[in-house]
Amino acid sequence: MGQGRTLKDGLAERGLLHVMAAHSPLSARLAEEAGFDGVWASGFELSALYGLPDVSLISMTQHLDMVRAIASQSALPIVADIDTGFGNALNVIHAVEHYERAGAAAVVIEDKTFPKVTSLVAGGRQELLRIEEFQGKIEAAVATRRDRDFLVIARTEALIAGRGQEEALTRAAAYAAAGADMILVHSKQRTPDEIERFVRAWTGAAPLVIVPTAYPDMNEARIRALGGIAMVIYGNHALRASVTAMQDVFARIRRDGGIHHVDRDIVPVEEIFRLQGMDRVKDDEARFLR
């Protein structure tokens, strides 16, 4: 059974999937242990890991290598954030072939022009493709996948670009007509109102996906009460949590003049050994090294 089927079965069983961003096999493993339904192979987080802005500077090869690494270390389905598909419809064909082979359960493709600018930055350039051109990208992705359970998720940035509800709904309907399995609608408003209006107005059959980074009040209870949303992606919290922790620990070490205080507040090295699978290494050494 493919991982796309795992996502579909999870949705049928639970009605709402919670997907946590990851930028490494370690963060994916932590998401799995925390009980999430999948991991979001985040282009934003990977860009930041390299110290780069999220403006299409990370190559497909870099992102794909991380997806492969995550797939090798976590059993969770991977929802791969492939931005604009790395180019036009021909690039999408190439990408889908490789991401499906790498073990992803789904790809998310957004309707911005390439190169893109990250969605939530103030004053960012947010240019959208023509609807017909993006439909071609979705059709190319659907035609390329080998497993029908491999999900093609179309992401509209119409609200991010300030185009309004009508255009967002028009684009979403066009992308669903092109074969998208799910529609991700994105917003940078600080309250859930804009997304809630979209969800109430959506009459399409394709389930909706949201990324409530900018509007954190959109919690599970509110999502379930609204209905129509099948997946919530926590898009950058792994990265932000990591930065928060490192900034605090680094500052404390410098302030204290050593690690004598902070050492008791961080996980022991034995926990890292556990996450690395060192017990298996010791077992294999005892069994095979002669």
- Catalytic positions: 54
Separation in Å, CA 195 to CA 157, 203, 238, 257, 290: 12, 14, 23, 48, 62
128, 164 Cβ separation under 8 angstroms = no
- How many beta carbons lie within 10 A of that of residue 246, not counting itself? 10
Q: In the structure encoding, which two tokens stand for residue 49, read together?
A: 């890991």
Three-state secondary-structure class, residue 194: helix
SS3 161: coil
Q: Measured between alpha carbons, how far is 28 from 70 in angstroms, rounded to an integer?
A: 6
The set of residues, in sequence order, having a beta carbon less than 8 Å from that of 12 and lying 6+ positions away, is none
SS3 call for 253? helix
d(CA 140, CA 218) in angstroms, rounded, equals 33
Angle between helices 89-102 and 131-144 (to 10 degrees): 30
By the 10 Å C-beta count (0-12 exposed, 13-18 middle, 19+ buried), 8 is classed as buried
Dihedral angle, C-alpha 272, 277, 280, 281, nearest 10 °: -70
Only one residue has tokens 């255009």, namely 167
DSSP letters for 114-125 = SSP--TTSTT--
